[in-house]
Amino acid sequence: MTLIELMTFVGAIAGAGLGSRFGHSHFGSVGLVLGGIAGIIAGAVIAYSAMEITDKLGIKSERRRQRRDLKKTFGEFWLPEKSCKWTEVREVVEVGDEVVGKVVAKYYYGVFVDIGCGFPALLTRLYWNEAMQTADPDVGAEIKARVREVDDSDRYFNLTTKPLANEIRQDGA
């Protein structure tokens, strides 16, 4: 159960209690039932909305921090004016290409790497090989990886140090 689901459940329970109490005090037994139902719905909607808004603000805050950190190396790579440059880079760098770069930013979910194309590349912990999982690469460390995916919406490359899906043989060997 996610935090959003938990808080929605708690909101529904609180809403049921408040709605039942209000309904009973104003409309008797019928109000008790109808107030409880309305309270469940209202409580769940309010709690869910509050958690979603909080989550979105947290993501925006993280994205602002990430862009501020990466701006030092790559400039404002996300701006519309950079779309032509991104298109040029996309014609050169493809999924499966091996790249070497230097770690320029480190986060709890992975590291951003400068692979020399003017746009960042993200190597998340999920795609580190077993040797890299034992130690986080520090800022300034050199990384050798391959392009796993291209994120056109945020204009960066996703990297992996594991074999790509199309390289894993079906027979398990």
The CA distances from residue 95 to 4, 114, 118, 130, in Å, are: 35, 16, 17, 22
Is the pTM higher than 0.75? The answer reads no
Q: End of a domain among 17, 39, 74?
A: 74
If asked whether residues 141 and 81 sit together in one domain, one would say: yes
For 92, residues 6+ apart whose C-beta sits below 8 A from its C-beta are 117
If asked whether residues 5 and 55 sit together in one domain, one would say: yes
Report pLDDT digits (tens) over 77-115: 888 888 899 999 988 998 989 999 999 998 888 889 999
Report pLDDT digits (tens) over 52-63: 887 776 667 777
Q: End of a domain among 29, 47, 74?
A: 74
Q: End of a domain among 74, 104, 131?
A: 74
What is the pLDDT, as a whole number, of residue 64? 82
Tell me how many domains the chain contains: 2
> Which of the pair, 162 or 141, is modelled with greater confidence?
141
If asked whether residues 155 and 82 sit together in one domain, one would say: yes
Q: How far apart are CA 15 and CA 43, in angstroms?
A: 4
Where would I find the H helices in 75-135? 83-92, 130-133
When pLDDT is cut at 50, 70 and 90, the band that residue 166 belongs to is low
Give the pair of three-digit tokens for residue 96.
Answer: 């499966």
Q: How far apart are CA 32 and CA 104, in angstroms?
A: 60
